[in-house]
Amino acid sequence: MVNRITGRMSGDLRRRRVGIVGYGHLGQYLVKQLQDDGLRHGLELAFVWNRDARKLVGTVPEELQLGKLTDFLERRADVIIEVAHPCIVQDHGESFLKAADFMVGSPTALADLDTELKLRKASREAGHTLYIPSGALWGGQDIQRLDDGGLLQALTVTMVKHPSSFRLGGHLGELAKGAQQERVVLYDGPVRRLCPLAPNNVNTMAAACMAAPSLGFDGVKGCLIADPNLPNYHVVEIEATGQGGFSVSTKRKNPAACGAVTGAATFAAFWSSLLVCQGHGGRVYLC
């Protein structure tokens, strides 16, 4: 029988080996999913790395713990998933792509132009895919198709969260603290400048920029809003406009525990994204 998502035969003996970099909320969720349900999808764990290795003890079998990230080659992973921090993408993304497909869990890292270009080049040259998980982005593949056809003219992503759901420093952090009574617009402008200011909060916007390379991080507009009246969910609104009066607006409500940075549905979305990572050649692929 053919698996609907992966396209693999259920009797396929060759399993894809998955390396997980980062063992926080997302990393732990993905490792558990792989342990519980990986074989059914033809996936097995190749390694788990975390900056603080003590966190792995007792939950990840010793032989699957990777001590030094630079030793990742020994584990012969087919796909490596970063769910740690944008700096891992910037420092190691290129070497990951030379050896394996690479799913970037922190796409805000790609707002750094050198990193984006370096990773696109490594992917092309090695024939390995740079996967961008859709996360909370609705309609990402439709945006990509519109962009591919040269029809996309403008794209705006608005994200609204309770002030306690932001992890912000500096000026934006101060603005968010002031949003106790009424909603406050924290930022409205190109996504490129916002990513380094709010790296943990705007991955969805960064994914939209990668889905629409004709606009990219300078052309896609991001609007970040703190709203004290949204304790249980995050809102992501997308507005795409194209030629001849074409437009699409979507509004997604993503249930989230009070103060949570990541909405509950985003965890399941990451797992679905991983199931798509079967190797799509040397290119960027929204999954």
Ligand X SMILES: NC(=O)c1ccc[n+]([C@@H]2O[C@H](COP(=O)([O-])OP(=O)(O)OC[C@H]3O[C@@H](n4cnc5c(N)ncnc54)[C@H](O)[C@@H]3O)[C@@H](O)[C@H]2O)c1
Which residue ranges make up the site for ligand X (CB under 6 A)? 22-27, 50-52, 83-85, 87-88, 105-107, 133, 135-136, 200, 203-204, 262, 266
What is the closest distance, in whole angstroms, from the C-beta atom of residue 261 to ligand X in the complex? 6
Encoded tokens for 248:
């699409």
Nearer to ligand X, 22 or 163 (CB): 22
Q: What is the dihedral of CA 146, 207, 254, 199, to 10 degrees?
A: -150
Nearer to ligand X, 69 or 146 (CB): 69
What is the closest distance, in whole angstroms, from the C-beta atom of residue 192 to ligand X in the complex? 17
Q: How far apart are CA 67 and CA 223, in angstroms?
A: 40
**Helix (DSSP H) and strand (DSSP E) numbers for the chain:** 9, 11
Q: How far apart are CA 178 and CA 226, in angstroms?
A: 9
Q: Which residues contact 58 (CB under 8 A, 6 or more apart)?
A: none
Among 155, 132, 139, residue whose Cα is nearest residue 210: 132
Nearer to ligand X, 42 or 82 (CB): 82
Q: Which residue is nearest to ligand X (CB)?
A: 24
Among 11, 88, 82, 62, residue whose Cα is nearest residue 270: 82
What is the closest distance, in whole angstroms, from the C-beta atom of residue 37 to ligand X in the complex? 19
What is the closest distance, in whole angstroms, from the C-beta atom of residue 13 to ligand X in the complex? 32
What is the closest distance, in whole angstroms, from the C-beta atom of residue 82 to ligand X in the complex? 7
Q: How far apart are CA 236 and CA 254, in angstroms?
A: 8
What is the closest distance, in whole angstroms, from the C-beta atom of residue 262 to ligand X in the complex? 4
Q: How far apart are CA 58 and CA 69, in angstroms?
A: 20
Nearer to ligand X, 3 or 200 (CB): 200
What is the closest distance, in whole angstroms, from the C-beta atom of residue 119 to ligand X in the complex? 15
The interaxial angle of helices 113-126 and 86-99, nearest 10 deg, is 20
What is the closest distance, in whole angstroms, from the C-beta atom of residue 270 to ligand X in the complex? 7
Nearer to ligand X, 16 or 92 (CB): 92
CA distances from 26 to 23, 91, 268 (A): 7, 20, 10
Give the neighbor-by-neighbor strand order of the sheet with 184-190.
184-190, 221-226, 152-161, 233-242, 247-255
